[in-house]
Homo-oligomer: A and B are copies of this chain.
Amino acid sequence: MPKIKELLVDMYNCEGNLNDEEYLCGVLEAAAKHAGAKILQKIVHRFSPVGRSVILILAETHISIHTWPEYKYAALDIFLCGEGKNPEDAWIIVKNSLKPRRFKTKMIERIIG
């Protein structure tokens, strides 16, 4: 049966600008490419006064980030199906870009069918 891996990451005290959706899109796009994923759609929502949601729909499922700049916190989900695809490959790019001082990861394996 095919498997999907979903990596959930809580990022604390991020150095990167969590309120800049263009920057966040660029980070997620680079992350998706580094994991060998194909980007199909990009969705952005700007919250007022601060906070952004960016979601990439991938051929291999999705990557999402929701940010709370007032807490320097972001919630990242990297959800990838497909042989040889590894969410860790995307996470390393996000980590090196947003530079959280502390983070918590949780890997979930989901079995299709």
Residues of chain A having any CB pair with chain B under 8 Å: 1-2, 4, 6, 8, 10, 12, 40-41, 43, 45, 47, 53, 55, 57, 59, 61-62, 64, 66, 68, 71-73, 75, 77, 79, 81, 106, 108, 110-113
Contacts and interface: CB of A to CB of B under 8 A. Distances in A.
A45 B72 CA distance: 31
Q: From DSSP, what is the main secondary structure of chain A's interface residues?
A: strand
A108 B55 contact: no
A30 B109 CA distance: 28
Copies in the complex: 2
Contacts of A77: 6, 77, 79
A66 B63 CA distance: 13
A45 B57 contact: yes
A73 B6 contact: no
Contact of A45 (B1, B41, B66, B110): B41
A19 to B, nearest CB: 15
Contacts of A61: 53, 66, 75
